[in-house]
Amino acid sequence: MTQTPLIFAALCDIAGKVRGKAFPADQLDKRLQRGLGWTPTNVQITCFDVIAESPFGALGDLLLIPDVDTLAETQFGDGAPTRLMLGDVTTLEGAPWDLCMRSALKGALARLHKAAGVHLIAAFEHEFQLKSPPALDHQAYGRGGFELQRDLCETLIAVLHGAGLEPDSIMKEYGPNQYEVVVGPAQGVRSADQAVILREFTRDTARSFGEEATFSPIRDTRSVGNGVHIHMSFVGDSGAPVTYNADGPCGMSAITDAFAAGVLKYMPSIVALTAPSVISYERLTPHRWSAAYNNLGFRDREASLRVCPVTAKDPASIARQFNIEYRAADAAASPYLALAAIVHAGCQGIEDGLTAPAPTEEDLSLLSPADLHARGFVRLPETLEAALDTFEADPVAKGWFPDSFAAVYRAHKNAEIAHLAEMDTPARCAAYEATY
Ligand code: GLU
Ligand code: MG
């Protein structure tokens, strides 16, 4: 049988789903210019394929323009290669569409450069679980659990490397059948492209071994969740690192300090965008090493924003390695939207000259609400509805996005919430692990 090689041009939308259309690879030049037709109301397809109330109805036309620099290819066994290319959604006239998440991230990165003259370097650390029942119990960080899936892990690392990512490490995480895969950082929008490629190719790799991988925020509330931890640092126009200052608070430069302050201040407003599923709020609870308060941690895994340790010894390498980590994110979020929200919050901190509070070193869940308030901390929203309300009630955070965004996002999430309304928590977890 002859087969025509295809390229799948895709976006990762509000639902965090990767959707698109394939075209014959020999049409690439044409498609890079003319794109592929896309439909406005697709933005309201939830992760459960329910179409939320849409301001567009059946009307309108858009273009999905693939970005040639994002081409990621891989191949399993004797099968034909799979090719993925990510892109932007534009109007027919070529302007960025207001609800294109990749364009929203580009806007946030441009704001950062304008506010501080720096570029963002980011790395997404992903946790996922294999859905098959664990063949071995008690395998937290265990060699046995790793060894059981070593072929899958080695294949995944080769697949990611072949797709142009720089694999850093892979391990058997704490939870049942839970693994963590880390790739090296990349500049700007490329970091979020990499997160999309990693999620898709991890699922493909698992499938090629007869396994199903899920990045769902949490599978079982009696156990741990699957986080997406976003590591961030900054470089100037020359590429020189500007994140670190040995004399700054926790080693942060003035830019990092102000950026961190903005992220902490606006975190209650942006979790609706970075942890956007109903069950995300089962994960964002104390004592899960996720994120329950808007606190800064110095090497503290209960903090929502963490100053990470550096292993380098010489000053130049320390300056390059130094980074802060946003932990209140999960893979129900489009990496573009999550990172756009974090970068806007950080920019607000820089533009308003904020400084970060001192890092916490205690268990904040033991403080009374009054003590928490007195110390300037808040418990992050405890449900998706509360998170959405907090975002909508914050004119500053809402103002970072086009006028149409907040209402579209709310309608989208309302449809997702309604789909789960009659389900108990285990059924909700099951629904999410079937889609993420
Ligand atoms: N599984 C934890 C989370 O939900 C993170 C554990 C860790 O790697 O520190 O974010
Ligand atoms: Mg982990």
105 lines ligand 1 (CB under 6 A): no
Kindly state if the Cβ of 290 falls inside 6 Å of ligand 1.
Answer: yes
pLDDT value for 33: 95
Tell the residue nearest (CA) to atom 7 of ligand 1.
Answer: 289
Q: How far is the CA of 227 from the centre of ligand 1 (A)?
A: 5
**pLDDT for the residue numbered 369:** 87
Q: What is the 3-state secondary structure (H, E, C) of the chain?
A: CCCCCEEEEEEECCCCCEEEEEEEHHHHHHHHHHCEEECHHHHHECCCCCECCCCCCCCCCEEEEECHHHCEEECCCCCCCEEEEEEEEECCCCCECCCCHHHHHHHHHHHHHHHHCCEEEEEEEEEEEECCCCCCCCCCCCHHHHHHCHHHHHHHHHHHHHCCCCEEEEEECCCCCEEEEEECCEECHHHHHHHHHHHHHHHHHHHHCCCCEECCCECCCCCCECCEEEEEEEECCCCCECCECCCCHHHECHHHHHHHHHHHHHHHHHHHHHCCCCCHHHHCCCCCCCCCECCEEECCCCCCEEECCCCCCCHHHHHHHCCEEEEEECCCCCHHHHHHHHHHHHHHHHHCCCCCCCCECCCHHHCCHHHHHHCCCCECCCCHHHHHHHHHCCHHHHHCCCCCHHHHHHHHHHHHHHHHCCCCHHHHHHHHHCCC
Q: What is the pLDDT of residues 39-96, one digit of tens each?
A: 999 999 999 999 999 999 889 999 999 999 999 999 998 889 999 999 999 999 999 9
Pocket test for ligand 1, best of 125, 173, 216, 277 (most atoms within 8 A of CB): 173
Give the pLDDT score at 253.
98
User: What is the arithmetic mean of pLDDT over 378-393?
Assistant: 97
Q: According to the model, what pLDDT value does residue 79 have?
A: 87
Predicted confidence at residue 331, as pLDDT, reads 98
Average pLDDT, the chain: 96
Q: What's the rounded mean pLDDT across residues 306-329?
A: 94
Residue 153 vs residue 288, higher pLDDT: 153
The verdict on the CB of residue 283 being under 6 Å from ligand 1 is yes
Atom of ligand 1 nearest to the CA of 301: 9
User: Would the pLDDT of 299 be above 80?
Assistant: no
Q: Is the pLDDT of residue 322 over 80?
A: yes
Domains of the chain, with CATH numbers? 6-97 (3.10.20.70), 104-435 (3.30.590.10)
**The pLDDT of residue 152:** 98
Higher pLDDT, 370 or 6: 6
Distance from Cα 304 to the centre of ligand 2, integer Å:
13
Report which bound ligand comes closest to the CA of 170.
Answer: 2
Residue 109 has pLDDT above 80, yes or no: yes
What's the mean pLDDT in 35-42? 97
Read off the pLDDT of residues 219-258 as tens digits, 9 standing for 90 and up. Answer: 999 999 999 999 999 999 999 999 999 999 999 999 999 9
**pLDDT > 70: percent of the chain:** 100
Give residue 399's pLDDT.
98
Binding site membership of 289 for ligand 1 (Cβ less than 6 Å):
yes
